[in-house]
Structures are given as structure tokens and as C-alpha cells.
Amino acid sequence: MPGIIINNLENEQVFTDYHQRRGELRDALRFGVYPNLKRAIALYNSFVADYGPNGPLYDKEIWDYYTTQIAPIATVQSGMMAGATAIVAAMEQVEAAAPGTFGI
């Protein structure tokens, strides 16, 4: 089975550059995208649970105001939250299939 051969400074640098770039991408997902999406999803779900109908902070006027204000972007917002949830789930599936990929 052929493998990566590092036997001089030139191919060592090629591999080092590759490894660094791959790590940058992984770390952007691991330390940026994943925790921030997890937090955004939790904040959104908490907001809706608290202020939405039957929530402990529900107030009809405030909820009506909120839904009116987001009406122009409600579909986009819903899509963004679904996308965030899908990204988090995909990253967790990768981690389950290849533990340590993201370290999450």
C-alpha cells in the first residue's frame, strides 16, 4: 500500500502546508461554526419557548409584535435554523463515524 513519503525538505513542506490548511478548516468548524450554531439554536429555542404561546414569559402583545417584525424574514429565519440544525447534526455524525475528527 503506497503512503506519503517525506524524504526531503520540499515534500516535507508540501505535506506541512497541506496539514496546516486542513487543520485550519477543521478548527474553523470545530471552534467557530459548531459551538456558535449550537448556542444560536439553544438561544432561539429558549426564546420561542419563553415568549411563545404557553411560555412562562408569553405576552400576546409582545408575541404579536415579534411575529409582525419578523414576518418579512420568517421563512428565511426558519430556513436558517433548519440549516443550522442540519450542520450541527452532520458534524455530530462525522464525529460519531470518525471520532476525533472535530473533537466535539
Q: Can you read off the three cell numbers belonging to residue 72?
A: 418579512
For the question of whether the overall pTM of this predicted structure is more than 0.85, the answer is: no
Tens of pLDDT along the chain (104 residues) come to 678 889 999 999 999 999 999 999 999 999 999 999 999 999 999 999 999 999 999 999 999 999 999 999 999 999 999 999 999 999 999 999 999 999 99
CA distance 58 to 61: 9
Check the CA dihedral 39-43-44-46 and report its sign. Answer: positive
Beta carbons within 8 Å of 59's beta carbon, 6+ residues apart:
51
Distance CA 52, CA 43 (A): 13
Amino acid at 102: F
